[in-house]
Amino acid sequence: MAVRYIETCRLPTPFGVFEMHGFEESDTGKEHVALTLGDLAGDEPMLVRTHSECLTGDALYSMRCDCGYQLEEALRSIAREGRGILMYLRQEGRGIGLLNKIRAYNLQDHGADTVEANERLGFAADLRDYSMCKDMLEHLGIKRLRLMTNNPRKVKALSSYGIEVVERVELQVGRNPHNEHYLDTKQSKLGHFLAIHQDDDPQL
Ligand SMILES: Nc1nc2c(ncn2[C@@H]2O[C@H](COP(=O)(O)OP(=O)(O)OP(=O)(O)O)[C@@H](O)[C@H]2O)c(=O)[nH]1
Ligand SMILES: [Zn+2]
């Protein structure tokens, strides 16, 4: 998805004072942001998080998933290094949107897992496309990075756009009784690098 840069502002947070860069998808008008911290110039690859929107987890403290915990940990890690980028991508519900995610959660309340629920609603398990990251990173002048994720699809997608992912940095936080089954399903059905296989995972 091609995006164009719109504007930048300061964004003070409890973790540090970031700059927020706004982008707009040319075809859909969908809005994405990149939060940056520190000096982006230089060859040393910096920490980058590509975070998909999760209103329930990121803003409403939901414990059904790990999103809110990951968002906080990613910002904290970037602040600790004094340098890095968090791209907040408006792909709610792995691309199905908020209301369909509520439908999917309802099916999960009645026994489906996260993948089955999507499929019962007529969606693929994961509809996300990461091509907006290419333009966003290009705008910021980033060609090499260390990607904070447990999701192999994100690594593959960025690599396919010619971005060099020199390291995958795991981001395992927030496991709790309400999201255990969800995380286990991400591992078994979506191929995420998570707890059980952690030790024999190459870190790319
Ligand atoms: N359809 C659907 N989407 C969900 C469900 N739970 C969480 N999500 C969405 O899944 C996405 C999770 O995005 P990310 O935090 O980028 O996580 P990820 O792709 O699992 O990979 P990581 O980088 O390892 O976190 C968000 O868009 C959430 O809204 C669910 O049960 N069903
Ligand atoms: Zn979530």
pLDDT, tens digit, for every residue of 27-85? 999 999 999 999 999 889 999 999 999 999 999 999 999 999 999 999 999 999 999 99
The domain segmentation of the chain, as residue ranges, is 3-91+128-190, 92-127
Confidence of residue 196 (pLDDT cuts 50, 70, 90): low
For residues 75 and 155, give the distance between their C-alpha atoms in angstroms, rounded to a whole number: 19
For residues 18 and 32, give the distance between their C-alpha atoms in angstroms, rounded to a whole number: 15
Catalytic-residue membership of 128:
yes
What's the complex ipTM? 0.96
Superfamily of the domain at 3-91+128-190: GTP cyclohydrolase II (3.40.50.10990)
CA of 195 to the centre of ligand 2 (A): 18
For residues 173 and 76, give the distance between their C-alpha atoms in angstroms, rounded to a whole number: 12
Cβ-based neighbour number of residue 69 at 10 Å: 19
**Which of 32, 51, 54 should be mutated for ligand 1, with most atoms under 8 A from CB?**
54
pLDDT tens-digit map of 9-23? 999 999 999 999 999
CA of 161 to the centre of ligand 1 (A): 21
For residues 48 and 148, give the distance between their C-alpha atoms in angstroms, rounded to a whole number: 6
For residues 185 and 107, give the distance between their C-alpha atoms in angstroms, rounded to a whole number: 15
C-alpha distances in Å from residue 140, one per residue of 66, 94, 121: 28, 25, 37
Span 166-191, average pLDDT: 92
Q: What is the DSSP letter of 200?
A: G
Question: Binding site: which residues?
Answer: 49-54, 65, 67, 70, 92-94, 114, 149, 154
User: Residues 192, 196, 197, 198: what is their CA dihedral angle, to the nearest 10 degrees?
Assistant: 90
